[in-house]
Chains A and B, each alone.
Chain A
């Protein structure tokens, strides 16, 4: 049984099938001194809005907030790339004392003149919340003077966690919706919510929908455009990926414009297929042919990738994985995907999961799986050792934790450069997992070699299971 490292976090860790009944605490403030992997409200709103490529994204605050989020995501644009620049008011002491409104006003005017964006988002940071700059008023004034939407994003870092940042972003975005004509939109139309076009993934997904005969009105927000979001209220359905980032937007759209939404994931064969079928089912009444077309897309795609998946699976069978990601929805897909590869998920967690999310994880994982909310390096390293996993899926901050323990790592976060969504993404993911897990480097890392020596001495293991072939040993459960 896993012992909690921080007593205060006891009810944010659950072992499936253990003595404790499932009752997971989540969405709490991070514990002081626990080195949470989470960022802040500002981060939440920034990651959601940032991929809108023809908008100006101005961070109103000291330089760090903008510097650390400069081009941080691999969110690709098919056109303008304004989002890849990092704009800041770089507040100085004087501004803190006398207020930063003048500076914000001048910076906005200067940047709008220079770049002629389709809209501007102004992000509030901790310090702006404290000094009380009236961002709303400044934005209103500039909007009037420059004739483009200028929208404040109330994302003061301390006002909760990343999840509140998602809300702030969606509240900002909803101000754009409903402001452009929608006459030419097809009845078979959707908005793609919660995909950030990392490594061009949204283009893969849009292609599937196109082949099904479904029009995409707005990408929210990968490869996003202000003009499309202004028309997004014309879509018949919102298709929401990821557990929480754009869900508030979908809910607001439902309330305001009566547009229903469904939640999907594009990771892994099952979830990807299911996403397409869900959309097809939604439009089946309007267009009876859509189901056939969707089946065709799915079977063509699956047929193309299965031989390679089967081949890779042969080596991966029986290996163990750990998952720690930002959103829990991605974790669901990863658990299923690993199963497709013959692998078992031994640890799974997220920074921002909800009670429902964790209940779902509890339902789909195997007994013994550690489920964790808002974890930290000390816990993660302890879990990795306890479960002796072969690969860890996470983001840049988790990478050195895995590597220091001699464990493979796959970057499944917003910096990734590899397309991991869709059917093609499934192959890419399987290839990466295979490349990582099967690398000979793990034979030489101290933890493996030391463990091996000790076991050899104490257990007198079969001579066939030599130091040179640790993978074989592990497969047979010899160690």
Chain B
């Protein structure tokens, strides 16, 4: 990318000081989701009680599953004298009562600011209670005043990849997959794809069961599923790591780079496989890693996707869309919209890694006549101000843009996180040929529904 193009797409951002209706959540939330995707793990927030409770509520309302996040429940005296004793007490309680095999400790703004040294406290804890059968402890620094929930998510993935894989593991044929923050249904689909290639995959995190579990006979204190710790330990011996996210791919330090640097695991950094080209790149990587051709099933899926894109193009071609959400998700969505003839007019994110404009440029390059406006690090006040001017036909993003879409009377196609006002967010597909097709159907139907509803006549055929 040239300097000129960077200049061209640079947002004219008014320097607001306040935030109105944030397009992001805070970092410990992302870390909690990661820890929830490890087998036998309980996420643990080192901070005051409210943090854990708020994040639980936020996640429960999206996933509709029990989300138990423990807290060291710090009070005033701990804030002054340090939270170590409560952290230890909390760990013991979680160990004994939940039977946790893993406890993932994430810090909060409070404990980061009072300067609690979590690795040291954990070290002391291991020494003090060495006679007990201790769970695997992993920790991550997630001060809420740095980054968004995505930085927390990636930091936790990286922390796990740094702290748990065993250097002594022998090389094996397994593949590591760091899928990013996607839906449980996406995770299941990714697993199926690897299975179809005959590749043993270790997906980190894997909350496909823990955040979308079946109805069972009894309440599971810790829901079954998640990446087994043994598999995480063996990630160091894998033949390759696949890390998804076009924006993440520009980050210097990630879970994937940790495995590469510390254990020499070959790293494939790819955009989220949303849309044809991104999915092609993903399957091409799997072809290369496995040394096999794309399984027929997926070749057929690709064919179906293309067929649908042709069948449906007329309904959506030229429509203008506003897209917002996590940086990697929107980069994937924009790649797809570009392919199907929807003009993304505004691409926004609460995330502010600095790498979103380049990722969007790459996703639209050569197809879109006019690049979309890209606004990283914004809130819904700014998105709304900008988008109103652009007169979109469609809004694509999480639930939080609902009021905006409602006021403009345009359809909101709900993707990503959080979806608090619709049912089935866990089962929304975004990834691969199949996920792209599912999204495509929803987009086309949203446009048709709107046209049908607005029509004075109504009709029975399209």
Interface residues of A (CB under 8 A from B): 5-6, 29-43, 58, 61-70, 85-93, 95-96, 103, 106-108, 110-111, 125-127, 129-131, 157-161, 377-378, 381, 385, 396-397, 399-401, 403-406, 445-447, 450
Contacts and interface: CB of A to CB of B under 8 A. Distances in A.
22 contacts: A29-B75, A30-B49, A32-B70, A32-B90, A33-B71, A33-B93, A33-B94, A38-B53, A63-B26, A63-B148, A68-B54, A86-B22, A90-B22, A93-B146, A95-B145, A108-B18, A126-B47, A127-B113, A130-B113, A377-B66, A404-B213, A447-B218
B97 interface: yes
A32 B109 contact: no
Contact of A377 (B24, B68, B86, B146): B68
A127 B110 contact: yes
Contacts of B89: 31-33
A127 B145 contact: yes
A62 B111 CA distance: 13
Contact of A67 (B25, B86, B110, B216): B25
Interface string B194-234: 00000000000000000001011111110000000000000
Given A63-B148, A66-B19, 10 more contacts: A30-B71, A31-B89, A32-B71, A33-B90, A37-B53, A61-B109, A68-B54, A86-B21, A89-B19, A126-B110
Chain B's interface size range is: 35 or more
Given A68-B25, A158-B76, A404 B216 contact: yes
A288 B395 CA distance: 60
A159 B110 CA distance: 12
B98 A378 contact: yes
A62 B60 contact: no
Interface in B46-86: 47-58, 60-61, 64-76, 78-79, 86
Nearest to A58: B18
A40 B49 contact: yes
B344 interface: no
B136 interface: no
A31 B65 CA distance: 23
Interface of B: 16-22, 24-26, 28-29, 44, 47-58, 60-61, 64-76, 78-79, 86-87, 89-94, 97-98, 108-110, 113-114, 143-146, 148, 213, 215-221, 400
A96 B109 CA distance: 9
The 3 residue pairs across chains A and B that have the minimum distance between CB atoms: A40-B50, A64-B26, A33-B93
A297 B385 CA distance: 49
Given A6-B97, A33-B92, A404-B216, A38 B49 contact: yes
A397 B72 contact: no
A129 B219 contact: no
B79 A70 contact: no
Nearest to A380: B219
B144 A130 contact: no
B57 A397 contact: yes
Contacts, number: 223
A378 B68 CA distance: 9
A322 B430 CA distance: 39
A35 B68 contact: yes
Contacts of A108: 18
B261 to A, nearest CB: 26
A74 to B, nearest CB: 12
A158 B219 contact: no
Question: For A35, A130, A131, A378, which residue has the most chain B Cβ atoms within 10 angstroms?
Answer: A35
Given A30-B49, A87-B19, A396-B60, A126 B66 contact: no
Contacts of A446: 215-217
Question: For A66, A90, A447, which residue has the most chain B Cβ atoms within 10 angstroms?
Answer: A90
A381 B53 contact: no
B16 A110 contact: yes
B13 to A, nearest CB: 15
A100 to B, nearest CB: 10
Contacts of A159: 75-76
B219 A107 contact: no
B18 A39 contact: no
Contact of B71 (A35, A381, A385, A406): A35
A106 B22 contact: no
A62 B49 contact: no
B53 A36 contact: yes
B137 to A, nearest CB: 13
Contact of A110 (B17, B47, B69): B17
A31 B91 CA distance: 11
Contacts of B73: 29-34, 36
A68 B76 CA distance: 22
Contact of A160 (B24, B75, B146): B75
B102 to A, nearest CB: 14
A35 B97 CA distance: 11
B353 to A, nearest CB: 14
A30 B48 CA distance: 10
A70 B21 contact: yes
Contacts of B75: 29, 158-160
A381 B86 CA distance: 25
A62 B86 contact: no
Question: For B72, B110, B221, which residue has the most chain A Cβ atoms within 10 angstroms?
Answer: B110
B461 to A, nearest CB: 36
Contact of B54 (A69, A86, A445): A69
A406 B98 CA distance: 21
Given A68-B57, A396-B61, A87 B68 contact: no
A90 B24 CA distance: 11
Given A33-B94, A92-B146, A161-B49, A67 B24 contact: yes
B18 A96 contact: no
Contacts of B61: 396
A160 B76 CA distance: 7
A400 B114 CA distance: 34
